Amino acid sequence: MPSTLLLEVPALADFNRAWTELTDWLALLDRVLKSQRVMVGDLEDINEMIIKQKATLQDLEQRRPQLEELITAAQNLKNKTSNQEARTIITDRIERIQNQWDEVQEHLQNRRQQLNEMLKDSTQWLEAKDEAEQVLGQARARLDSWKEGPYTTDAVQKKIKETKQLAKDLRQWKINVDVANDLALKLLRDYSADDTRKVHMITENINASWASIQKRVNEREAALEETYRLLQQFPLDLEKFLAWLTEAETTANVLQDATHKERLLEDSKGVRELMKQWQGLQGEIEAHTDIYHNLDENGQKILRSLEGSDDAVLLQRRLDNMNFKWSELRKKSLNIRSHLEASSDQWKRLHLSLQELLVWLQLKDDELSRQAPVGGDFPTVQKQNDVHRAFKRELKTKEPVIMSTLETVRIFLTEQPLEGLEKLYQEPRELPPEEKAQNVTRLLRKQSDEVNTEWEKLNRHSADWQRKLDEALERLQELQEAADELNLKLRQAEAIKGSWQPVGDLLIDTLQDHLEKVKALRGEIAPLKENVSHVNDLARQLTTSGIQLSPYNLSTLEDLNTRWKLLQVAVEDRIRQLHEAHRDFGPASQHFLSTSVQGPWERAISPNKVPYYIK
């Protein structure tokens, strides 16, 4: 307002001062109202804000006489002055403050109505959320109550029935989860200007839990169905295999008797016929090898599930009988081969067999070496363990062949006279008969010793590799479990951190309460330091033992350590910010005085509590 006008109309100064004071108060009130945010879904927070809004509305109404007095004073001034500029300024200011008043009042009323609607919607959502969490709890309890084994046909049928019933209940309970989601979406949509983090976080947790439960139920149902088919088919396959074993045993017994006949060496045609029959028997054995291993593995699975029951004892007897018959059949077959080979062709057959075995042993040793190094995470090492298990099965299958070949060589060298060896061995240059025989003996014995040495070496290599895999699996599983535990605890703390409102949005009288809560969180997360150290120590031990952690594990470790540091920094920063806010805006501060006078004047208070003005 021009100073010349104030000199001409002195009463305008008092009007202007009163107008400025009320205008500043309304502007401050409007800023405070616009900055106030509530936690959607928090009934206590919403109710507190409704009470504050009601009190603010009452304050506004209590100031109405001040507005009316200002309007009356303005009208009187307009009546008393003939200065057109002063009348225009007075009219303009009265219209502005009246509009400002109406806007603040409308904002208050609309906000109060919105908070009441938010309270109703949040109450409905919380009720739906509680119902959804209740059905989730029931589903978890049902899942946790299920016990593994025994896997008899009747027991599996009962478990399938229980699983299908739970799956049916889940389809009905999904209505509760859908209702909670729909109400949550309404809150997120209608009150996006307020703090919706609580609704978002709880909704995410509910949906994640629901998806996890459904996945567990579906996987369990599929596994039980597979187990049921296995239990039904296993006895039939076992009976069929045992029947074949009986027939094969009969054939092997006939061939074994034929190979032990006297003067068999002189009947080369008979030897060839027996060799042909043996090849047919050995072909059938090799064709049934996978069937045997599958029956043995499936039988062991069923046996573990029946542990402690009478059915387990009966099944164990049948499996032992199958394993014994299978082992005996293979031994007989190889024994037949040993006698036939020792009785028929010359030493070159044995020489070639030993050469083939040496090549096979070298290839297997190279294959085993390529399985190294030990993987850097649990799934990789588990896969390596599966590969090595198949490798060991191959060794187990080959062992009778190697033992039989070595035994055949021993028999050949023992039973063949020197003059027989002399005729079998052909040198390009003429050698004495005794030297020819000695060369044959020396060559076969040397190869036989090499096969035996390489076989023992391969088995030691395999056992050493298995030991490394077992140790790595144990340590990596421990690392994975420790990392999962730490991740869960960090997520819980981060969820609390994620629900923090900006310090500038907090009400002054709640600063101390928020400060205490953050300090309590700092105390709760302090033990996580031990979890972090434990995870890092486990990783260090693996590295020291020569295991290079995989990129996934390294990334997980880096993520956990980074999140732990960031969490600590966030907590300390939050405490510092709350301390500063409490110091600057709390009950002991003088911040409220700054808006009570018009610039360039400022108002303060002396140490003895006396207010004064400074320019």
Interval 485-517: pLDDT, tens: 888 888 888 888 887 888 777 777 777 888 888
Question: Who's near 255: CB < 8 A, 6+ residues apart?
Answer: 274, 277, 278, 281, 336
| Residue 494: C-alpha distances to residues 156, 441, 504, 533 (Å) | 42, 78, 20, 19
pLDDT tens readout for residues 513-542 = 888 888 888 888 889 899 999 989 999 988
Lowest mean pLDDT: which of 40-54, 146-160, 506-520?
A: 146-160
First-to-final CA distance of the chain: 20
Rounded to whole angstroms, the Cα distance separating 387 from 505 reads: 59
Rounded to whole angstroms, the Cα distance separating 238 from 315 reads: 11
pLDDT tier for residue 178 given thresholds of 50, 70 and 90: very high
SS (H, E, C) 419-478: HHHHHHCCCCCCCCHHHHHHHHHHHHHHHHHHHHHHHHHHHHHHHHHHHHHHHHHHHHHH
- Does residue 262 sit in helix, strand or coil? coil
What kind of fold does domain 1-210 have according to CATH? Methane Monooxygenase Hydroxylase; Chain G, domain 1 (1.20.58)
Q: What is the pLDDT of residue 542?
A: 87
Rounded to whole angstroms, the Cα distance separating 8 from 12 reads: 9
Rounded to whole angstroms, the Cα distance separating 382 from 387 reads: 9
Q: Which helix (H) or strand (E) holds 588?
A: none
The yes-or-no verdict on residue 198 having pLDDT over 90 is: no
Q: What is the pLDDT of residue 124?
A: 93
Rounded to whole angstroms, the Cα distance separating 333 from 248 reads: 10
For the segment 421-442, the average pLDDT, to the nearest whole number, is: 49
- Does residue 101 sit in helix, strand or coil? helix
Same fold for the pair 1-210 and 346-417+436-470: yes
For the segment 576-586, the average pLDDT, to the nearest whole number, is: 77
Q: What is the pLDDT of residue 447?
A: 84
pLDDT tens readout for residues 435-488 = 444 566 777 788 888 989 999 999 999 999 999 999 888 888 888 888 888 888
Rounded to whole angstroms, the Cα distance separating 473 from 479 reads: 10
Q: What is the pLDDT of residue 87?
A: 80
Q: Say which CATH class 475-588 falls into.
A: mainly alpha
| Residue extents of the structural domains in the chain | 1-210, 346-417+436-470, 475-588
- Does residue 612 sit in helix, strand or coil? strand
The yes-or-no verdict on residue 152 having pLDDT over 90 is: no
Rounded to whole angstroms, the Cα distance separating 545 from 414 reads: 50
pLDDT tens readout for residues 65-118 = 888 888 888 888 777 777 787 788 888 888 888 898 888 888 888 888 888 999
Q: What is the pLDDT of residue 196?
A: 84
Q: What is the pLDDT of residue 57?
A: 83
Rounded to whole angstroms, the Cα distance separating 301 from 312 reads: 11
Rounded to whole angstroms, the Cα distance separating 105 from 111 reads: 10
Instruction: Please give the mean pLDDT across all residues of the chain.
Output: 80
Query: Of 75, 71, 80, 79, nearest to 18 (Cα)?
Result: 71
Looking at the chain, the number of H-run helices and the number of E-run strands are 17, 2
CATH code of the region 346-417+436-470: 1.20.58.60
Of 430 and 519, more confident: 519
The tally of CA atoms less than 13 A away on the side-chain side of residue 236 is 5
Phi-psi map region of 88: left, alpha, beta (phi>0 left; psi -120 to 50 alpha): alpha
Phi, psi of 614 (to 5 degrees): -130, 155
Say what the alpha-carbon torsion angle 250, 341, 362, 387 is, to the nearest 10 degrees: -10
Output the DSSP codes for 311-366.
Answer: HHHHHHHHHHHHHHHHHHHHHHHHHHHHHHHHHSS-HHHHHHHHHHHHHHHHHHHH
pLDDT tens readout for residues 296-307 = 888 888 877 777
Give the torsion sign (CA, 205, 211, 213, 215).
Answer: negative
Give the torsion sign (CA, 242, 244, 246, 249).
Answer: negative
Q: What is the pLDDT of residue 126?
A: 92
Rounded to whole angstroms, the Cα distance separating 597 from 143 reads: 68
pLDDT tier for residue 199 given thresholds of 50, 70 and 90: confident
Rounded to whole angstroms, the Cα distance separating 343 from 312 reads: 46
Burial 317-337 (b: 16+ CB within 10 A, else e): eebeebeebbeebbebbbbbb
Phi, psi of 80 (to 5 degrees): -85, -20
pLDDT tens readout for residues 545-565 = 888 888 888 888 999 999 899
In one letter, which amino acid is 557? L
Question: Who's near 496: CB < 8 A, 6+ residues apart?
Answer: 521
In one letter, which amino acid is 183? L
Specify whether the CB–CB gap between 1 and 19 falls below 8 A.
no
In one letter, which amino acid is 362? Q
Rounded to whole angstroms, the Cα distance separating 340 from 318 reads: 33
Query: Of 234, 127, 236, nearest to 183 (Cα)?
Result: 127
Query: Of 208, 217, 216, 210, nearest to 167 (Cα)?
Result: 217
